Structure formats: structure tokens, C-alpha cells
Structure 1
Amino acid sequence: MPSLTHDEALSRAALVAVEAMEVDLDLDRGPEVFGSRTTITFTCRRPGESTVVDLRPQALHSVRLNGRELQDVLVDGRLRLADLAADNVLEVEATMSYGHDGQGLHRSSDPADGEDYVYGHLFLDAAPRVFACFDQPDLKAPYTVGVRAPEHWSVLGNGGATQVAPGRWELARTAPLATYFVTVCAGPWASVTAEHDGVPLGIHARRSLERPLREQAEHMLATTRTCLDHYHRLFGIRYPFGEYHQVFVPEFNAGAMENPGCVTFRDAYVFRGAASPDQVLERDNTIAHEMAHMWFGDLVTMRWWDDLWLNESFAEYMAYRTSAEALGAPQSWVSFGIVRKLWGYAAERAPSTHPVAGSPAPDALSALQNFDGISYAKGASVLRQLIAHIGDEAFLAGVRDYLRGHAYGNGELAEFLAAMAAAAGEDLGPWAGAWLRTAGADRLELTRTGTLTRRTPEEHPADRPHTLDVAAFDHGREALREDVVLTGERAEVPGVAGLPEGALVVPNAGDLTWAEVALDPGTVAALVDGLADVPDPVARTVVWTSLLGGMHRGEVDPRVVVDVLESAWPREDDAAVLSRVALVVTGTVVPLFLPPAEQAEAMERVAHAADALGQRARGASGPAARAWGLLAARVGARALRDEARLHRWAAGADLPPELAGDDDFRWLVLRRLAALDALEEAELEAAQEADRSLAGRLAALGVRAARPTPQAKEWAWSTLAKDPELSNYGALEVARGFWVAEDPAVVRPYVGRVGDLLARLEPRMGEDALSRVATALHPKWLVEPATLAASSELLAREDLSPGVHRALLDEDHVLREVLESRRRFG
């Protein structure tokens, strides 16, 4: 079915205005279909003309326009409406199919108790899979929703829900919403409710997660209260959508979705076992991110998808700012640097890089490709540069003016910049052209004589001013800190030339700007002995992102990364750095960038580093020591080759106290045993029997796929290709385990078959879910010239969607980086 184009959206918005949406859903028709009745009240500016309404039903029962029954009007997912009146009422009744790919109205069964759960994820263009609508962000309307559900279910949605009869719920009329924000969440939820400052609050999850939900709900509610108060102060506008529910739902493709009044989160955020501080911080940050959207995105919505940065960049920046300012977590900027910016720089290096703002979105589906590290991490960094340029007072004044001027409507880049320029008292056009409308990351390099240079990508020329600092560290002390405003190609930084030879010199040490930092050779040489002693965690983060980025660019030998990890990582204090660096080294540096003959030894060195961190934890006390012990065990479970120790861990022996009875950790250990071909079928079956949860069922799929035997790979491939019951999460788990094999001969026969499998999956999976599977299924793990040839053939196919092609293109780029690194460093 064709995706709505921007030109079509402009024409439709010029013709019609939606006054009201009434939606009635019958969720009590079994596990495969639901009933949908929609009444759309809308006006037409030029009576007599025609338009289309979006709908993708399993069966269409009736269409009535202004009391007139219409026949044969559904074509390619659109109802064609002719001879419109000035005032119109469209009534549509249809039977719809539940989704099992995380889009539309997704239905999932929890094997822990056999209960089913339904949630709506109508982003990006999935609303027509639930009800008839004008599916574009600038045709907002108030919604009145009714729901029939099994009598033991409860129902949540954008408006406050009231049970009016057994199995019958009515949701309060909403403020004007874009179609992609509408949601209904139904099932036998476990719930914790509260109220703050007149706003009813709720935290909800599957019934089988009730115990951890209740244990963790007060922390989440405290975070919610603090964020709500903080945003009221910052924006000067009260929360505008009535009740505020946060629902942790199964098999969710993203981290969360900012549905007004009813935010949905992936339910992995309700921790079944031990949670490290960075995991808790990530959840707090996600709560803050989605709440920021209530103003930027929900109250004021982008007019079209080419301005999605107005939603995501703002929420990304505001979440980290709020975590640092209001939640008492200054380390959130460390997490931003090592997690989000690492993701964003990778997206910037890829051939699919694009500007932060105004990236072409000719149709709705193509916009999905730009929900990446550029729209999030780079966009947030650009906002930090804007604040450095105009000041925080002017920035907040511009934000308030923009929100007040477009409340309950739509906005776009020019209007946002106009508000900022008025508050700052200066023309921001040149600044926006360089930072927002031009792709690419500048490269910053500082010589030991003190010359800071800026090199702009040749393919994306721009004159970007950088506000940053330069710091140097020597024997565990800060030896230099200089603020710099770089407005040309070079600037002299005083004090650098006089630094000791072994000092570590770090441009952009405060991580304020967006630029690839190239460390000088003397600093790289000093990292093994000196990085752990750098007292500034943000500067350490900048060093790690620079080191890893340099490896991808073919400038840093991957062995240096392993050397630095072995020496500095066990002495790191920040949980986010510990977690992310180890994940990148075990998941990318060793299995991809190092030659196969060196990988086993490198993993042993990582395991030794994990043991060193564990020993450090045992010699300390308090929350930090508990976090070190937890992270040490998790990294050891990914890196160890000691099968006896892994089997003891799987049996629950010799574990840190925090991991006693932790099912998720046991699955991590079992996956490592499977990869080593050291897992017996009886042991796997016993684990499945002990953990009959949805998470356990999914983990078992990944463990089976990771076994390095021809039989296991054939099972995994066949499951992906032929199992119609496989959900989006199930497919992703199998795909992530598939290429695990120390002997490449086991998986080499499948390299040329990836395209056919993806084409087969496309009819039953939405583009969002399938793009994630395509990323995992790309055969880059076999670093061979033949794989590159197969990847090129994959990209030449014409039967794969744009989103899948984009995912494969980015993975092809990684393969090329790895091949070049191996050629250069042998």
C-alpha cells in the first residue's frame, strides 16, 4: 500500500479540517481480529471536491458519507470520497487485524499466565491499521474513544478511562491529537496509581510483572513528579493532557512512545532482576524524554516529518538536562556522551547521513529512516551549541514563545528559529544553515604546540562555529582547562605547548560540541597508563568516543582499544562507561575488527579485566561496589571461555549476591555457553521450564539460534522463514543469534540468502520491525571479500523496502570499515 506523500498531505490539509474523531473498538472478538467503528466530522473548504481517508482493514463492512452509503471506494488502503459538502460526517465500520510486529494494535500473549495484552503503536503511519483517519500530523483533532474488552481486562488511553459496564470502557475526550499519538492499552494490567499537583498518575505493566512493578513504582513516580514540576517551571505551561499514565508493554519496537496522557514503554524497563545504576538512569532519562514530548511534539506537533527533529532533538536534550538539573544525576551527560553520541557519530559516518533539520521526507514511510542518532544525539548537541551561542535565558524565552504561539497546533523549523531569533535579538539563519541544514561532523585536532584545527567534510561543506573547551591531565590532576570559540579553521590554545610530554590532551573535554575528535599520537600512547587517572568522567567519555571513532575511521589499531580496556576499564567509576565500553568491545571490536586468530585471546583479556573489576568490588562497599560487581559478572558472562565457571553461574553458584535468582543473567550465561557449543539440550529445557515468562521464551530463541552447529542454524533460518507465529521480538532474537559461530563454514552458506529471507518476511512485518531484523541479519560478521560482494548484491535488490535498504546500507558501510581496518592493521 502506498505511503502518503508530502505533496498529497499538503493538498489534503489545504482542502479539509478535522473537527472531531469518534472511535469505537471491539477487542472481545478473539486473538486475531478486532472491530473498528469510526465517525469523522470534518469540513471541506471547496465543496464538491474529492479527498481520501486512510484505512487498512481486514474486511470493510460499511462506509457512509453524510448519510449516503458508498460502495467500492477502498483502493490501496484509501477510501476515495467524492462530492464533499462544506460540513461532512464519515462513518466507517470494519474488521481489523491485530499486529504481531509492534505496530498498529499489537496483541501479545504472556506465557507466564496465558494472558493477552493489547496496545496501540500508531507511529509512523500505522493508524489506518486501527481506524479510518486522515493520517498526517497536521490534521489534528480531539478524540472520543470507546472500547469493548474482556470483562477482566482494564483499559487505558489518551483520555481518562471509565468503566461504564462490564467489559465496556469510555475514554474522556482529548485535546487535539495527531493520529500517530492515539493509543489504547488493554489487558489485565497490574497498576499503581497516584496524584501530583492535580494530575492523576499511573504506572502499569503485565500482571506477571506485578512484583517488580510494585517494588519499582515509587521510584518511577518520584521521577515523574520531579520532571512534571521541572517542566512546569521551564516552559511556563501546565501539563495539557489530563491524566498521565505510563504503560510498560510487551514486544515494543522502540524505547518508548510519547502518546499524550498514555506513554508506552518497552517492558524491559521493569527490571526482573538486578539493575545497574546506568540502567536506572536510562529509565529515568526515558521518563524525562517522553514527558518533554508532552510539550514539544504533542502540544506543538511538527507539520510534516521533515521536521521530526523538533520533536526528538528537543526531547533528547531536555531529558539529559532534566536528569542533571532536577533528578540529581549530573552523570547523565556522561551517559549521553558514551551511549547516545557514540550512536550518533556512527550514523554521521554512514552513507545515509543527513542534516538534523529539513532532511527530505517525500512520504511518511521514508521519514522512518531518519529516526536515528542524528535526529536524537546530534540534534541535542546542536541545541547545546545554540544555548552556548545565544545564552540559556534567550533559549528558554524562545521555547516558551514558540510553545505558546503554536499550542494544540503545528510548527516547523522556520517558526522555531523565528522565536529563537526574536529572543536572542539576532539573525540565526547562517547558524542554522551550518548546524541544522548541513550534514556531517567536523573533525577537531589539537597539536602539542597548541594549534586547534577544524576540518569540515568535503562532501558536506559548512562553516560551523564551535564553542568548546580543551583540557589536559597529568598524573591524575587537571593540568589545563581553556574555553575556546572556534569560528574559523584554526585557533591557538594557550598553555598546551608547555604541557609535560606524557600529559593527556583532550579537545572538547566538556563534550559540549558535536565533532569527531582526533587525539594526538602522544595522548593515544599515554592512554594505557593514564586514562584511568583522569579525574573528569566527561573527559574520559570523550577519550573513549574518540578512540572508538578513530578505530572505525581506520586511524586507531583495534588492538589499542583492547589494551586500553584491559588497563583502564577495571578502574572506571561510571556505570554507563563500564557498561557501554565493554558492550562495544565484546560485541564489535573483538568479533569484527580483530583478525579471527586474535579474537579468543582478546576475549580472555576482557574476561581478566572483568575479574579485576569484580575483585575491586569485593574490596569495597556501598552502591558503587554493588554496581561494579554486577557489571563485572555481566561482562564476564559475555567474554569467558571457562565452561566450568559458566556452568556454575548458570546453576546459580559463585554469583554476586545481587545476581542470586536473576533469570536474565542466567540467560546471558546460557547464551555464552551456547556460543561455545557447551550447552546441553537438557540444560536449555530446564532453563525454559524454570523461566516461563515472555522474556524467558524470547531469550531461549536467541540461545538456540546462537548454537554454532549446522542443525541449529538450519533451525533458526527455517524459523525465521516459516513460523507465522514469530513476533517482532522473536524474529529479532533469532536474527541476533544466527551469525554466532567461531567456524565461519557453519554460516557461510547463508550469506547469499539474506535478501530472499528478508523479502519473504516483508509481507508479514512492518518496516520498523523488519529494519531491525535486517540490521541483525546482515552478514557482516563474516569479514571476507565474498561477503562484501554479497552485500553489494543485497543492496542492488529492488524488492526490499526503503527502510530495509537503509538498514542494510549502513551495515554494508560497517563491513567496509572493518575490511579497511584489517587491511591497514593486519
Structure 2
Amino acid sequence: MTEATHFYQAFQPAHYELYLAINRANKTITGKTTITGEAKQTAIALHQKYLKVSALQADGQDVPFTIDDPAEAIRITLPQSGKVTLTIDYTAPLTDTMMGIYPSYYEVDGVKKQIIGTQFETTAARQAFPSVDEPEAKATFDLAIKFDEQPGETIISNMPEIREENGVHYFDTTVRMSTYLIAFAFGDLQNKQTTTKSGVKIGVFATKAHKPNELDFALDIAKRSIEFYEDFYQTPYPLPHSWQLALPDFSAGAMENWGLVTYREALLTIDPDNTSLETKQRVATVIAHELAHQWFGDLVTMKWWDDLWLNESFANMMEYVAVDALQPDWHIWEAFQTLEAPMALQRDATDGVQSVHVQVEDPAEIDSLFDSAIVYAKGARMLVMVRALIGDDALRAGLKAYFEAHKFGNAAGADLWTALGKASHLDVGKIMQSWLEQPGYPVVTAAVVDGKLTLSQQQFFIGAGKDVGRQWQIPLNSNYAVAPQIFAEKKVTLGDYAQLRKENGKPFRVNVGNNSHFIVQYDEQLMTDILANVDQLNAIDQRQIIQYLRLLAEGRKNSYGNIVPLLPRFAASHSAIRDLNALFRVAGDLKKFVAPDSDAEKQLQA
């Protein structure tokens, strides 16, 4: 029989009983895992990495097994297929790799201490316990932990602790979930807690190296984020608590473990009275991002890692949606336009860049998917584009249906597009296909040709690039009703420009709000009209003009010389987004073309 590509195809776990004895002094883990599930064939496999298996039984009887380290597997031969209970005894090292189960070090009053935490995404749960360590292999978990406990230490996990017997801490049975979302931590921790309107316990945990008030800001943002998402998604938070834990040593920025979210300390614990607004915004968006995952990623999980982009892109969009609702005075969408949009547009203009959706199997390939400019920034722009296209009412209705249909299970990108399409009466899947399966993005050229207003699209490159005729389904979001909602052709003529300009009474523009992932090259007549009325544009749309001109210059579709006369006009603006960063970027590019200490450089500095 041909070996199954994914272990889940051969063996489908339903429930795990996990017992872990952790000795910090000896840096050892002793474990016993019992898995009840359905074997679809007699030759099955479990994932393991760095585990030393001493015994393996099926339904109480010893069965043949081999360790396949290159495949990170335990190969098992069963006497028959069908329902089976596997029991595996093993030991493992407690390492300092910041993956799996690991110690995290800190100091209090000059004394070195440690807490134990976990990081299992993408494929490190197998370092802690044998399992089918794949996102589709959802199961329920009973967790029991014994450790070299000292007085006053705290232990937390995804679910509440229900009892302690003979030094073993037992936690309540989890909901059906993926292995990579299991988490626990223990050590000398402090915490602050509150409760949401719906009764969900919210807590922030950190070492005692922090002042107690450094937990307050995160506690407030976490509480209000959970309340916001319950309302926006129209779907209750499905766990009794949401703990936020700051780890001194942490390889990622934060991790959305269900019910026990882990963070770098700097992204959770801050002094609210002595912290810049920029840092508060960063912490708030990270918390909102991870809590968005509690539904999108945890409640409904991708079937396989090729849809990782969807988890991250959606949470990346929702962090801005949530924080904008919680703190409208922050104008957080302006930060999206200064951080995410430029990153995506710059990276995605390189020939040979990966598409958002890529096929992947090997764990090393899985980790390589975390390209922040594509998976996070471009992906988020895809979702922002969909949100702008269908509106929040359809978005919320579609998400509610999506969560209801797939809760405690798995889904692919197509399932989301189907739900949003039904809610909006648009073929969202067809539109998104053109953006997700091919790299790059278009430049839309808007020009008056023989008196007619015309649009055309072509792939945009910075540097060398081969045009292979790619086309996109472009949500234009024009301020002229005559422009199509979706521009899918290579070229379209909208009508007599003079008449359209008179009827509309304002300059012609597309991608109003800068929500879609494309740039626009206006001809001289149209750009002159826009610039003559630039003061009527909001901060985001003003910045968009600078962004377009800079990118077009980098892509050799415009001259930097055309930008210079515009800089004083934008520099006089009082909005941060219009934008000093954008102006500095343009000025920095222009400096490449002038000699040091020359009159030209002095003019540029002026």
C-alpha cells in the first residue's frame, strides 16, 4: 500500500491523555501519552522528535514499532484497523531552543530564575508528546503535569486546573483542537484578572521582575478585544478563560495558543504612564491579532499549512479593525497604510516573489512560509480589499456562517470565500483566485485617449521583470460610478472624459481609500487635476499619491524629477501620514542622484 502523505489519513485521533513529569534541575521530561482514535489501516505513524520511546502498546498489547528520525515519526504496525487505544511511554530532553517545552530565564534582584513555557507551532508539539502533529488532526486533550514544584509557584494551561493530587496538576478536558495550540507554563508568576460582559475570565501573567502596573494595559486591551470579537463575529468565545502570558525568552512575537496566548515581554508588559503612544499601539495590535485567532485559526483551523496565509492575514486585518473600534482616536488605519501597505507593495513588485498561496509539505518549507511582507502584509491587504468590496454587514454575516459551519473543525480558503460570497452575492472566490495564486500586482493606467477616459492593467515591477500577461480581478473603488466594480479586462473605455468630469464635479480617481492591492499611473491631465484639488483628499489618500509616484519612479514608469516640485506641498501638511515617512523615503531615493555637498543636494535638503 502506498504510504499516506499525511499521518492523519492513516490514523485519526479523537482524544489524548497526556501525562508529563518535568524536572528542571535535570532538564528531563518523562511522559506517558494515551491516544484513542481510528486506524484506517494497519500501518500507521505518529510524529515524534527527540523522543526516546521505551514502550508502545495498542489496546494493552505490545505492538511492533520503529523510530524513523528523518521523517520525525514512530512507525507502528497494528494487528487490525479500526478503533484503537495507543499508549506510549517515553523520555525527552528539556532544551534551550525556545521550541517544544523549554525554560525561559530572567533575574529578580540579581538572582537568576526560570519559568517553563511552550511553543508548538508549527511542528514542535511532537517534541513534547507523540501525536499526529498536523492541523487537521483535531482531538480533545486531558493534560496532567507534575514538576519539581516550589512553594508559591503557579501553573496554567489552555483550560482551568480542576484538581491537584500527589503533586500532579490535572486540567479540564479541552475542546476539539489542533496539537500546535496546546500550551502550558509554570513558575513564580504574578497575575491580574478581570471578567468580560459574557463571563469570560481574562488574565495577564508575567514574572515578578515586572512591576504590577505593567500588566494593566494588556489586561484592559485583552478584555475589550474579546468583547469586541464576540460582537463582531456574532459567535461566543468558546473557552472559560483567556490568559495572556509574557515569556522572557520567546522566539516569535506572540503565539495564539487557545486560551493561553504567549508573548514576548515587550509586546505585553508596559508601564502605561511612561510608554509612547506608538508602543501602546504596537502592544494593542499584537494582543488584538492573537485574540482574533481564537476564532479564526483556533475555533476554525486550516486543513493544512498551505492555508497558513489565511490565518495570519485575517488576524492581521482584524487587529486593525478591533483596535480602531477600541481606540478610534488612534486612527490606527493610518498605521496600516504606513506599515503594511508599503511593505507589501515593495516586496510584491519583485519578479520571482512567491504567491500568497503556495503548496507545502516539509516542515522546513512550512517555516519558510512566514514571509511577513507576503503572508502578513499582502495577505492582510487581500482581506482589507474584500472587506471594502463587500462591506461589514456582509463580512460579519459571512463570518458567522463560516464559524457555525466549521467550528471545532477545519476549513480551506475556498470555504471562507463561499461563505462571504453567499452573504454578499458576489463571486468572491473568483476574484480572490487571481490575487492568491499568482505573484505580483498590477499598475492600472488611467489616461485620456482621444478624449475618452480609459483604463488598462499590467503587472508592475521594480527592477527587472518579465511580463507574462497576468491579469487580476481588480476592485476599482472609483469615485466615478461609470467605472466597473471589478476591472477584469486588459483595457476598458469609460466614456467621454470632459462630459464625465462635468457630471461628477471632481477629479477622477480609483482605489479610493487605498484598500486594494494595486497602484495607479494617472496621465498628466488627470494627475494635474488631482493635485489641483489635493487639499480635499483625506490623509490616507494624500499619502497614496506620494506612494504611487515613488513606486512608479522606482519602477521607471515616472521620473523623480516630476516628484520634486510636489514635495513642498505635502511637507506643509500637519498629518503624520501624509507623510513624513513617505517624504523621507522619496528624499532618500532622490539623494542617490545628486552629488554630495552639491547645490542640488542643498536644494533637496531645503
For 1:339, give the aligned amino acid.
L
Query: In 2, distance between residues paired with 1:597 and 1:173?
Result: 69
Displacement of 1:560: 9.3
More strand by share: 2
8 A Cα contact 1:454 1:490, kept in partner: no
Q: Is residue 56 of structure 1 aligned with residue 52 of structure 2?
A: no
After superposing the two structures, state which structure 1 stretch, 449-458 or 433-442, moved more.
449-458
Secondary structure of the residue that 1:462 maps to in structure 2? coil
Partner of 2:12: 17
Match of 1:294 in 2: 294
Rounded to whole Å, the distance in 2 between the matches of 1:243 and 1:131 is 24
Shift of 1:127: 1.2
Alignment pair present for 1:8 and 2:10: no
* Offset of residue 54 of structure 1: 0.7
Deviations 1:771-807 (A, max 9, x none): xxxxxxxxxxxxxxxxxxxxxxxxxxxxxxxxxxxxx
**Could you say if the C-alpha distance between residues 393 and 328 of structure 1 is closer, same or farther in structure 2, counting changes exceeding 3 Å?**
same
In the alignment, which of 74, 79, 86 is matched to residue 74 of structure 2? 79
The residue aligned with 1:574 is 576
Cα separation, partners in 2 of 1:547 and 1:17, compared to 1, 3 Å: same
* SS of 1:131 mapped into structure 2: coil
C-alpha displacement of 1:393: 3.0
Matching residue of 1:743: none
**Residue of 94, 109, 123 corresponding to 2:90:** 94
For residue 179 of structure 1, what is the aligned residue in structure 2?
179
For residue 73 of structure 1, give the secondary structure of its aligned residue in structure 2: strand
1:352–1:548 CA distance, 2 compared to 1 (3 A)? same
In structure 2, distance between residues paired with 1:169 and 1:595: 67
Q: Distance in 2 between matches of 1:600 and 1:207?
A: 57
**Which residue is 1:255 aligned to?**
253
- Which is worse superposed, 87-96 or 299-308? 87-96
CA-to-aligned-CA distance 1:554-584 (integer Å, 9 cap, x gap): 5577899999889956965337965x65997
Which whole-Å deviations, capped at 9, do the CAs of 1:530-549 have from their partners, x for residues lacking one?
99x67622124324543553
Deviations 1:124-173 (A, max 9, x none): 11111111110111110111112233324322221123572696432221
Contact 1:257 1:290 in 2 (8 A): yes
Q: Paired residue for 1:513?
A: 516
3-state SS of 1:454 partner: strand
Aligned partner of 1:61: which letter?
S
SS of the counterpart of 1:102?
Answer: coil
* Separation of aligned partners in 2, 1:275 and 1:444: 42
Q: Aligned partners of 2:507 and 2:425: how far apart in 1?
A: 40
Distance across 2 between alignment mates of 1:286 and 1:181: 17
Count of paired positions: 579
Identical-pair percentage: 22
* More displaced stretch, 175-184 vs 414-423: 414-423
Structure 1: gaps spanning 5 or more residues: 471-479, 610-826
* Distance change in 2, residues 1:13/1:556 (3 Å): same
Q: What one-letter code is carried by the residue in structure 1 that aligns with 2:360?
A: A
Which whole-Å deviations, capped at 9, do the CAs of 1:485-519 have from their partners, x for residues lacking one? 352434559689989xxx99975341121113447
- Secondary structure at 2:485's aligned position in 1? strand
**C-alpha root-mean-square deviation of aligned residues, in Å?**
4.2
Offset from partner CA, 1:734-790 (integer Å, 9 cap, x none) = xxxxxxxxxxxxxxxxxxxxxxxxxxxxxxxxxxxxxxxxxxxxxxxxxxxxxxxxx
Name the structure 2 match of 1:275.
Answer: 275
Of residues 220, 224, 227, the one that matches 2:218 is: 220
Report how far residue 482 of structure 1 moved.
Answer: 10
Q: Quote how far apart the aligned CAs of 1:423 are.
A: 2.8
Q: Does 1:553 align with 2:555?
A: yes
Distance 1:524 1:203, change over 3 A: farther
| Contact 1:305–1:364 under 8 Å retained in 2 | no
Find the aligned partners of 1:521 and 1:285 in 2 and give their Cα distance. 39
Deviation at 1:237, TM superposition (A): 1.7
| CA distance in structure 1 between the aligned counterparts of 2:378 and 2:524, rounded to whole angstroms | 27
Q: In 1, distance between residues paired with 2:249 and 2:415?
A: 37
Residue 314 of structure 1 corresponds to 314
8 Å contact from structure 2 (residues 501, 508) kept in 1: no
> Structure 2 matches for 1:408-557, cutoff 5 A?
408-447=408-447, 451-456=454-459, 458-459=467-468, 461-469=470-478, 485=485, 487=487, 488=489, 489-490=491-492, 492=494, 507-518=510-521, 536-550=538-552, 552-553=554-555
Structure 2 partner of 1:376 = 376
What is the one-letter code of the residue matched to 1:414? A
Structure 1, residues 368-407: CA drift from partner, whole Å, max 9, x if none? 3333333333333323333444444333222211211111
Aligned equivalents of 2:561 and 2:189: distance in 1? 49
The DSSP-based 3-state class of the residue aligned with 1:30 is: coil
Residue aligning to 1:107? 103
CA 1:463/1:528 → structure 2, altered by over 3 Å: closer, same or farther? closer
Answer whether contact 1:519 1:546 (CA < 8 A) is retained: no
**For 2:592 and 2:258, how far apart are their aligned partners in 1?**
46
SS in 2 for 1:287: helix
| Structure 1 counterpart of 2:463 | none
Name the counterpart of 1:118.
Answer: 116
2:98 match: secondary structure: coil
| Aligned-partner SS, 1:208 | coil
Contact 1:528 1:563 in 2 (8 A): no
Q: CA deviation at 1:329?
A: 4.8
Q: Are 1:209 and 2:210 matched, yes or no?
A: yes
Supply the AA of the counterpart residue of 1:224.
Answer: A
Deviates more, 1:64-73 or 1:373-382: 64-73
| Structure 2, gaps ≥5 residues long | 461-466
Q: Distance in 2 between matches of 1:599 and 1:137?
A: 59
Tell me what 2:364 maps to: 365
SS class of match (1:349): coil
1:298 is displaced (CA, Å) by 0.8
Distance 1:27 1:546, change over 3 A: farther
Deviation at 1:52, TM superposition (A): 0.9
Distance in 1 separating the partners of 2:578 and 2:252 = 20
Code of the aligned partner of 2:84: N
Instruction: Please give the per-residue CA displacement for 1:300-340, whole angstroms capped at 9, x wherever unaligned.
Output: 11111122233222222222222223442572221112111
Distance 2:252 2:567 in 1: 30
| Paired residues of 2:58 and 2:85 also in contact (CA < 8 A) | yes
When residues 562 and 418 of structure 1 are mapped into structure 2, their CA distance, relative to the original with a 3 A threshold, is same
Q: 2:38 aligns with which of 39, 43, 67?
A: 43
1:367 aligns to what SS in structure 2? helix
Distance of aligned partners of 1:194 and 1:521 in 2 relative to their CA distance in 1, 3 Å threshold = same
Greater helix proportion: 1
> Which sits farther off after the overlay, 17-26 or 204-213?
204-213
Report the secondary structure of 1:280's partner residue. Answer: helix
Contact 2:595 2:601 in 1 (8 A): no
